[in-house]
Amino acid sequence: MDLTFLGASGEVTGSCYLLRTDRARVLIDCGMFQGSATADLKNRRPLGVDPASLDAVVLSHAHIDHSGRLPLLTKSGFRVKIFCTPPTIALTELLLKDAAHLQSEEADRMNRRRQRRGGPTATPLFDEQDVPPLIKRLTGVPYAKDVEIAPGVRLTFHDAGHILGSASLTLTVSERGRTQTVVFSGDLGERNTVLLNDPEKLPRADVVVLESTYGDRDHRDLNETVAQFKQIIVNSAHSRGKVLVPAFALGRTQTLIYYLAQMHREGSLGNAPVYIDSPMAIAATRLYHSHSNLFDDAARELLRTGNNPLTLPQLRLSTSAEESRAINALSGNAIIIAGSGMCTGGRILHHLRHNLWKPETTVIIAGFQAEGSLGRRLVNREKVVKIYGEPILVRAKIETLGGFSAHAGQTTLVDWFASLAASKPRVFLTHGEQAPRQALAAALDARFGARPELPMLGDHFDL
Ligand SMILES: [Zn+2]
């Protein structure tokens, strides 16, 4: 058996690993590289394996950095099954359609510029027509069910607690009379994340591929973050301004709605309308509703007692562009959750343009903001920002919350590994930049003598 690292090796995007035996070839995730100057180039490079030679693909969860190169497989003659959990099927369709749409827009924008200047035509990596043939290949396997996915390779999914349907996976691989257990952590969630279970711990492994996104630190305390969020909402009711919350459609939006619904039950929310101003976030929230059997105990207990954890009386779902624009005409206190999460596009931009200059406005930054994004400029307290090319004065209160994260911090990563440590597995750290994964390697070595390996893109290991 051997393992080749085809992405997320020394970086956080592009997850893709190839496991080969003398009888089978299985690809684990096929994610898009994102964010860096070389990302587009890496996405367009040949994958490193002939898609027609694969026996199966396993998808750990729907995020684009794990699923975004899958349409390239189906475009190049791939005809076998892609195994994932049932919620991941619908979420992948939602996210890939959105990614296709964004790429087409980006290509059009670049081509308008290139027409004026001269230059080669830009093409999207894939378009919306490439998504349905891929979705047909997705095959749902519930958590804890053991299935044979290729000759001599069995798969079991475990709840990773990162987003709805996210999974760690165990592959039981038999080759020439020898059986080995290979565990991929997938992206692991933080403990005590609302709605989701804590990441499931696994009993043993011969090989572990572990994510290391936040391998060098812990997040700020969740309880303090929640208290801070609630206080900001209460204060905004006094100042009678709008509260703008840029948020990712999947995961963060549902977390915020959960806490607003909790405030409503506690009697601290008041009557301000709460808008989800994003068709994608509305669709993602519906998918959470339809898979509520996977919620954690606390959320299922709420449901059992007639309290839906993802709704509240003043919740307004704004689907069309007209509905979104109509929010601008409203005066007084209102809470508006809209994309994109880093204010790099989407409906949050027109809300910011209309409200940033008003001192009664509050902007809540509840997620990571990349260098250069409008969200980061707001966090950095820039006095004037440009939106649609127009300079806008920032008089709004900018509040930054550090404790909501979809990823496990270092302590949770180390604790997750603890149950596997006794079986003395070979450990590879991926899905983290160099500094965080070195820090996690040092922590795992200090506590368990684990000596993790830090593969780079294209590295290949006999197991
Ligand atoms: Zn993820």
pLDDT tens for the 463 residues of the chain, in order: 999 999 999 999 999 999 999 999 999 999 999 888 888 899 999 988 999 999 999 999 999 999 999 999 988 878 899 999 999 999 999 999 999 998 888 888 888 888 888 878 889 999 999 999 999 999 999 999 999 999 999 999 999 999 999 999 999 999 999 999 999 999 999 999 999 999 999 999 999 999 999 999 999 999 999 999 999 999 999 989 999 999 999 999 999 999 999 999 999 999 999 999 999 999 999 999 999 999 999 999 999 999 999 999 999 999 999 999 999 999 999 999 999 999 988 999 999 999 999 999 999 999 888 878 899 999 999 999 999 999 999 999 999 998 999 999 999 999 999 999 999 999 999 999 999 999 999 999 999 999 999 999 999 999 9
Cα distance between residue 426 and residue 205, in whole Å: 8
User: Quick one: residue 29, left, alpha or beta (phi over 0 = left, psi -120 to 50 = alpha)?
Assistant: left
| 170: its two tokens | 């165990």
pLDDT value of residue 312: 96
pTM of the model: 0.94
Count of positions (residues) in the chain: 463
Cα 368 to averaged position of ligand 1 atoms, centre (Å): 13
pLDDT value of residue 442: 98
Q: What is the identity of the amino acid at 209?
A: V
Cα 60 to averaged position of ligand 1 atoms, centre (Å): 9
Cα distance between residue 366 and residue 347, in whole Å: 17
Cα 214 to averaged position of ligand 1 atoms, centre (Å): 12
| 34: its two tokens | 């994102």
pLDDT value of residue 370: 80
Omega prior to 9 cis, within 30 of 0: no
Cα 407 to averaged position of ligand 1 atoms, centre (Å): 8
Q: Where do we find the tokens 């980061």?
A: 376
pLDDT value of residue 182: 98
Cα 91 to averaged position of ligand 1 atoms, centre (Å): 12
Cα 189 to averaged position of ligand 1 atoms, centre (Å): 9
Cα 13 to averaged position of ligand 1 atoms, centre (Å): 9
Cα 290 to averaged position of ligand 1 atoms, centre (Å): 20
Cα 164 to averaged position of ligand 1 atoms, centre (Å): 10
